[in-house]
Structure 1
Amino acid sequence: MRIASILTLSVGSCLLGSIVLAQTASKVPLNDLSAFRPPVSANWRIAADVMADLNQPNTVQLKPATAGATGGVLVCTPASKNTGQANLISTLEHGDADLEFDFMMAKGANSGVYLQGRYEVQLFDSWGVTVPKSADVGSIYERWDDSRPDGKQGYEGHPARQNAGKAPGLWQHLKISFQAPRFDASGKKTENAKILRAELNGVLIHDNVDLSGPTRGAISATEAARGPLVFQGDHGAVAIRNISYTLFDKNKPRLTNLSYMIYKGQYRDEVSFGGMAPESKGTSPVLSAAVSRIPNDFLVRYTGTLHVEDPGEYTFAMNTAGGGGQLRVNGQPLGKWSDNNQSGKATLPVGDLPFEAIYSKYVEWNRPDLQLAVSGPGIRQFMLTPATISEQGETDPILVTAEGNTILRSFMDLPRTKTDQGRTYRVTHGISVGSPEQVHYTYDADFGNVVQVWRGMFLDATPMWENRGDGSSRPMGAVNYLGGKPQLALTRLASPQAPWPTDTMGSGFRPKGYQLDDKDRPTFRYMTAGASVDDQIQALPDGHGLRRQLTVSQPGAGLYARLAAGTSIEAMPNNTYLIDGKSYMIQLNEAGGAQPVVRTSNGAQELIIPVSGKLTYSILF
């Protein structure tokens, strides 16, 4: 019986942790193809919607766009293998930029997006891949040199950290933060391009990856400070929508003329310095807590000049480890005095502006540390303080692997839907089951139902066991949440139109635990509505999803199973349904002749089916 394999890694946490300073993104209009350089290949067109059948290789079905419609879908249906004609090149040119978009792959399809037309991030049907290579989805494709020995022409590819890709026919989301190469005044490259961060379906797949030069198939072997986006259009059927970008091409503000004064004592609120004599004072080239030799119970007050070259709204975020503090820029306080973290916005003119930062350290067990980040119009978040690793922030992550079938019980937090109040639902009797196929799920023993499924790595149990812990764990892969608020999988309805109960009251639901088979896979058992249920959930051998078999004794009349709920449910061939805006699929395998019903309930759609004995279906994602 495999309960959990534990891996701990020693890492230092980032300066400001999860503080993110948002920028306003621009959209690439997709009501027509005017955002791309002519001539545009006939491989590309704008559609209103698109579908890809799991059984039709390299094929998509289009719903034509109507005249004047906005927010279309960019679709490639390749007929030509001529790269120069088939690729789609944006009129936009970028240097440092954040890019994100949704994409959908056809079965077996291959495409890619080239940043600056030179550095390719793969778009590929990698469904079921357990060990990604440089050609798999989200990976940075390899460079190429024909003069190298046979079999070694490709080099320096960067596989994604894990396969967070979804099935063909489902919408996926890619988000990339890119830093362009740097050049001196003579045009000599001084710094390589970088993928600072890339996320696929919400999962980090690249972090600070150095790109020594263009990848194979680039529009030019010569690097430049700016270049277009290029979508590969000669390899496979792909759909793209919701392309947005943020350009970072403005000058960063900088601090000058920094002076400091240090005061002894505990200061836990805003301070008036009139008549107070500092313990010491001086000048510093950087903003740092290190100017104080006192380990605790001190306050450091910095004053200086913030040089701003581009006007606009700037966002500041300050971390004051083990204490509190306050910022003032151009005479404006950025919020009230606060402990640990302070953030605020200020609209700043061009010029040399007065600057003040106050840091008070009074928590004895913290290491002194002052950190300040800023972002602004056309300026990616950067640190105004030296890069350090806070001793306070160091944590050994406790990662649970699943080389075999693995079970871990913990609390599990699920996001609420937009119409619900609060931030999360807490599943207090969650049982997470991992598989070597890298397809995992969480079972809610309070409702007898699967509440989330994911692909990739298994669990981060750090919040469960680090220090006192809060009893919860977190999936480490690309998660699909199944239906929002946890509800029963089976219940008795007076009619197919009767509302699904929102809790277990009156249902007679009673959990009976689970039993493991010879491969450590659980079958959950419970009573509900007078029926006895065996609930067996197993990873499909190809890693394409999960198969669930509900075996019901004494089902009686009016017993229904709720297979899915979401904003939309679309029927596909082979008893398959696209759920919640094409985020995952349900495929009906065996239902004893019963027919599913798609219905609207409480503003959402539900897929339900009568149950008379045995029901088998697959969750594909």
Structure 2
Amino acid sequence: MKYASFRSLLIATSIPVLTSALAAQDEKVLQFGRETFTSCSLCHGADGRGGKAGDIVMAPSLHDSAFVGSSPEALVAIILKGIHKEDDKYLQVMVPLEEALNDEQIAAVSTYIRNDFAGKKGVITPRFVKKVRSEFKSRTTAWKRKELEQLLARLEAGSLISNLRYSIYEGHWEELPDFSTLKPSQTGKIAGNKLTLNVVENSQRAFAAVFEGDLTLKHSDDYEFALWALNQGALIVDGENMLVTKGENAASITTATEKLEAGEHTFKVHYLFNGGKARLALSMTSKTLGEINLGDRPISNGKNKKETDYPPIVLQPEHGEAIVHRAFLPDEKPRAIAVGYPGGINLSWNAGTLNLAQIWRGPFLDVAPHWNHRGSGSQPLGGPRLAPANGMPFQILESLETPWVAFSEAKIKYERDTANPQKQITFDIEHPDYQFVGYRLDEKRFPTFIYRYRSLEITDTFAPATLEGQDAIVRTLKLQGEPEANLYLRICDTYSSDKEVKENEWITTDKLSIKLEGALPLARKSTEQSEILARIEKPGEIKITYRWLAPRKTSSPDTKPSKP
């Protein structure tokens, strides 16, 4: 029997911050990263050398990656924005993870990979990840390989601008003044060596400014400079006036190209602002380095599309077959597997909790958000989405007063990197009693999910149905092995009635009717939850049917299906 491997879309890389040795706190970060990497290992391999499915290579090795042991900023940028798939060398694609992973998760998994696969000691901090996230916030597409090469070259070259200073002149001029005849009202150094208007105390008033510093280039090349300004701006390199831009009523961009030799250069930016809202940005582009923003904001002409401007890409089953789609879904743990069945019955099953997560009716998924802008995952259509029983399905209870533990989680403190050193961060870890095996597809591509719980091997299968004129899903759980004492299966966590529950009878919850066959149900209540459990005393087959209470609403006319 062959099982289709679950391939998580989390593909990890790494980033550094300098420390000398791993202390006790660092060991916690490594453990956090090790647990997070379990979602990445099915593609990159547990040893980081790249997973394989037969002769097919799933993802590249992390041991010989130029990014694992080199620039920290480039590695974070890859994790955040992903890599555009340009060939078929690897089966998987590096998707953008900026919406799926927080700064603590990226920092921890990067520390682990860098330590174990590149021999680089030191802890990557969430503060560093946050800085890089902010730096590339405006980027809306995945990296191409050429862009990554340019990015790495830029970062290895170090800071291009140094000794950046500013002078502010109060007053109103129609044209850029002769600054040599004026006395500045304010002067200073810019710590980040980025062109910025933050140094102006009140940018609403009219003023003029001079920014000057040193430009260090490691490559002789043709460099195109672009200056964006409202109202007037000028760029002077090595004492020569390179370009002037004028935008009297709206910000304007002017470009100029100059052949510059490797070495040290001086540059100045003159700026004139006559009221409204000040705008100033500068970029530099070359073949060796690509485009670099020399200021604290990107060059923009105000015509960037918003994510909502893109039409939906509706994924919908066809030809009587199901669609299995692995992506990040809203309100779910990361390892979601969405399944769209013929007839408009849909569900998501989570390989982290090993359980049914959500069910919904109507159109299946809009996958446009997965590819547009930051890659925020796919969006379930239709609805509403219902979650019969959140979290892990099985648990051994000492008594019926023992609370249900739905998720396998741990906590960690980033004591050295937060304003509140007592703040704890919760993260998911693999539960020792569970092991995901994979799934297989039948002739209609309906999946059967396979996993182990302690001594049991369990298969979990679903089929759409119509019962008494209402939409339904019939779920079949098959248990092989001997159950341990006091083992329970959670059927529902939204039960609110006082009625007794019985096997083979419909149990009404908020928006579903549920029927259990093959085990005896029992309802229990506590101050926190009301739930229906089934005591598991022998192996065999358990059937759970979920039937909607209300008729299905008509689908929205603008959700036209696209072929998968």
- TM interval, shorter chain, is 0.3 to 0.5
TM-score normalised by L of structure 1 = 0.37
TM-score normalised by L of structure 2 = 0.40
Greater RCO between the two (CA within 8 Å, min separation 6)?
Answer: 1
- Greater percentage in helix: 2
